[in-house]
């Protein structure tokens, strides 16, 4: 709640506008009640229609003005909410960039997507409706009680007593609503993660004949989410019902008291009695609105937990070290570098030490799980070593400080839903057509380009549906070529490729190695043969790093 309130007070101008409109509407409610009471009393007492025209026009004008104020407050609140949601999404994306793939790999992508999209959207009601109404609900009824006490003190005391019960009702109902809302938001994140996981694995489920069983499981997950959502709404509407009942009881008590005053000894003026009856619903109106929007608060509190988990996790990530100025192929040195994953049975890297000379092409070899990818992840800033240091040209580097000087192509190629040109120039947006053509030529992609309907402007589709696996791998290597960085990192660039694709990538690696320091994690004998040196890893330790030209098998 503290964080949510801080978001709202950050939009100070919008909040002031909404509160000003609310207080002005409350003041006009008093005027409206008095004018309408006089109008009704005049009609009952036989005042002529021409004499009633002025108060009727005034009453109409006050009603219209209150409506305008309500529309203005809603518009200002919606605009403030859009700005806050946009800012929060920007902060979330920045936080996810800081946390990196290592943090995301431990979480369902559907859960993270639900936080960035659905849970940020759940802040809307709190910002634009609940928070300003909460402030008004604490102040407006007390202000409206002033003319009530001025007109008839007993009525004021009755309304004050009824109003004192409101926090008790809201507290009892609100506590249960908050508990259920947090559980519902957790269920929503889990359901999104479950659905996305099954959607991505739909082909596998179909091949194994599990579609029917998964459909039943999805139905159970959906029903659980539906029950939790309806439970939150039931509790939220219960608060509204309780407030409506309290308002009705208070109105009935005041009406009985006024009836006694109107027809008893020392009869009350009819206009005053009607004024009080008309004003009673206005006193409870902010409280009823608070009850109606209470589920907005519960939803926002539940959403804030997921949002703050990401933002606070990013704040705990150490700040990257200074970015070194690297204009040419660098010297890299690993000095007793160790890396342990949370919950891992053993260290991924255990005291690794080696040095790579400028312009050297080094093949990292070893069985799966030996630490090759972990070494690359440290250079990429995706992981931070548990101990030891990484130096570039003699200066220690931390985190993602090396990223500006790195060209990268990994095992799992990501082709975005964009044009082929945009995918190729991802690391160098200003690359001209000649540079793009040279990169494509280096990986033997011109024949592929020739069959695309719009050549470089052809949309690839999510995951590169227009390309085969080998072609997508070649696009990734071409992207690294275009990056034109002094340090090149490749992770299994030729794994599971046909002969033609492998030959094209080997040729591209030769091109990349000119004037650059290249590190390739690989099982390929061909890459080992062309490397200047082979460093063999086993269970996170360097077991062999001969000098001179590498050879298959190391």
Identify the pLDDT of residue 326.
76
Which region among 52-56, 265-269, 387-391, 481-485 has the lowest average model confidence (pLDDT)?
Answer: 265-269
Answer with the one of 315, 340, 369 that is the final residue of a domain.
315
Residue 192, pLDDT above cutoff 50? yes
With a pLDDT cut of 70, the percent of the chain lying above it is 85
pLDDT, average across residues 210-227? 81
Identify the pLDDT of residue 442.
80
- Is the same domain home to 296 and 350? no
Domain housing 120: 2-315
Q: Which residue has the tokens 């690294």?
A: 480
Identify the pLDDT of residue 550.
42
Could you tell me the CATH number of the domain that includes residue 398?
Answer: 3.40.50.300
Residue 456, pLDDT above cutoff 60? yes
Identify the pLDDT of residue 152.
79
Q: Where residue 551 falls among pLDDT bands split at 50, 70, 90? A: very low
Q: Where residue 109 falls among pLDDT bands split at 50, 70, 90? A: low
Identify the pLDDT of residue 419.
79
In a domain, 461, yes or no: yes
Residue 32, pLDDT above cutoff 70? yes
**Residue 231 is encoded by which pair of tokens?**
């439970």
Task: Convert the pLDDT of each residue in 244-257 to its tens digit.
Answer: 777 777 777 777 77
pLDDT, average across residues 320-342? 76
- Is the same domain home to 293 and 339? no
Residue 337 neighbours by CB distance under 10 Å: 23
Strands 487-491, 406-409: parallel, antiparallel or unpaired by DSSP?
parallel
Residue 171, pLDDT above cutoff 70? no
Neighbouring residues of 494: CB distance < 8 A, sequence distance ≥ 6: 473, 501, 502, 505, 506, 522, 524, 526, 527
**Residue 307 is encoded by which pair of tokens?**
């949002």
**Alpha-carbon Rg of the chain, whole angstroms?**
35
Number of structural domains, the chain? Answer: 2
Contact 338, 349 (CB under 8 A): yes
Contact 309, 366 (CB under 8 A): no
In a domain, 326, yes or no: no
Task: Convert the pLDDT of each residue in 112-153 to its tens digit.
Answer: 777 787 778 888 888 888 888 888 887 888 888 888 888 878
Residue 324, pLDDT above cutoff 80? no
Task: Convert the pLDDT of each residue in 463-473 to its tens digit.
Answer: 556 677 777 77
In a domain, 322, yes or no: no
Identify any residues that bridge with 419 across adjacent strands, giving them in sequence order.
459
Give dist(CA 484, CA 474) in Å, integer. 16
Residue 389's alpha-carbon distances to 384, 394, 395, 503, 522, in angstroms, are: 10, 11, 10, 36, 24
CA proximity to 273, closest of 251, 305, 303, 292: 251
CA atoms within 13 A on the CB side of 469: 10
Residue 553, pLDDT above cutoff 50? no
């Amino acid at each position: 709640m503290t964080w949510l309130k801080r978001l709202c007070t950050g939009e100070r101008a919008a909040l002031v506008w909404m509160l000003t409109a609310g207080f002005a509407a409350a003041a006009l409610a008093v005027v409206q009640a008095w004018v309408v009471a006089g109008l009704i009393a005049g009609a009952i007492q036989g005042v002529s229609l021409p004499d009633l025209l002025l108060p009727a026009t005034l009453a109409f004008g006050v009603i219209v003005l209150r409506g305008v104020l309500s529309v203005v407050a809603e518009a200002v609140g919606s605009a403030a909410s859009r700005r806050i949601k946009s800012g929060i999404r920007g902060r979330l994306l920045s936080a996810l960039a800081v946390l990196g793939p290592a943090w995301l790999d431990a979480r369902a992508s559907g859960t993270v997507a639900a936080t960035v999209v659905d849970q940020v959207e759940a802040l809307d009601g709190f910002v634009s409706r609940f928070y300003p109404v909460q402030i008004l609900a604490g102040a407006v009824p007390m202000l409206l009680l002033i003319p009530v006490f001025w007109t008839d003190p007993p009525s004021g005391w009755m309304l004050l007593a009824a109003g004192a019960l409101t926090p008790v009702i809201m507290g009892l109902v609100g506590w249960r609503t908050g508990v259920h809302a947090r559980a519902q938001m957790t269920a929503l994140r889990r359901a999104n993660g479950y659905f996305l996981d099954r959607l991505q694995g739909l082909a596998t489920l179909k091949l194994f004949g599990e579609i029917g069983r998964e459909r039943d499981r999805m139905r159970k997950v959906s029903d659980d989410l539906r029950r939790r959502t309806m439970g939150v709404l039931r509790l939220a509407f219960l608060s509204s019902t309780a407030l409506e009942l309290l308002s009705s009881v208070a109105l009935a008590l005041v009406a009985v008291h006024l009836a006694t005053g109107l027809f008893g000894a020392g009869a009350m003026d009819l206009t005053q009695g009607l004024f009080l009856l008309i004003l009673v619903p206005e006193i409870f109106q902010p409280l009823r609105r608070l009850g109606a929007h209470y589920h907005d608060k519960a939803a926002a509190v539940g959403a804030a937990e997921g949002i703050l988990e990401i933002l606070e996790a990013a704040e705990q990530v150490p700040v990257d070290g200074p970015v070194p100025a690297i204009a040419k192929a660098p010297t890299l040195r690993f000095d007793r570098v160790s890396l342990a994953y949370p919950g891992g049975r053993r260290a991924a890297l255990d005291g690794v030490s080696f040095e790579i000379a400028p312009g050297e092409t080094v093949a990292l070899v070893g069985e799966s799980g030996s630490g090759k990818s972990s070494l690359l992840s440290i250079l990429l800033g995706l992981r931070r070593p548990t101990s030891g240091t990484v130096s570039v040209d003699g200066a220690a580097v931390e985190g993602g400080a090396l990223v500006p000087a790195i060209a990268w192509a990994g095992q799992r190629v990501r082709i975005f839903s964009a044009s082929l040109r945009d995918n190729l120039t991802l690391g160098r947006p200003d690359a001209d057509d000649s540079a793009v053509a040279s990169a494509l030529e280096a990986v033997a992609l011109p024949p592929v380009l020739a069959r695309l309907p719009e050549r470089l402007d052809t949309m690839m589709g999510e995951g590169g549906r227009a390309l085969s696996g080998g072609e997508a791998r070649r696009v990734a290597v071409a992207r690294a070529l275009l990056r034109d960085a002094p340090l090149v990192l490749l992770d299994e660039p030729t794994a599971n490729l046909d002969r033609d694709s492998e030959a094209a990538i080997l040729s591209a690696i030769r091109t990349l190695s000119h004037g650059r320091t290249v590190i390739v994690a690989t099982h390929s004998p061909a890459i080992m043969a062309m490397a200047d040196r082979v460093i063999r890893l086993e269970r996170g330790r360097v077991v062999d790093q001969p000098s001179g030209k590498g050879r298959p098998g190391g």
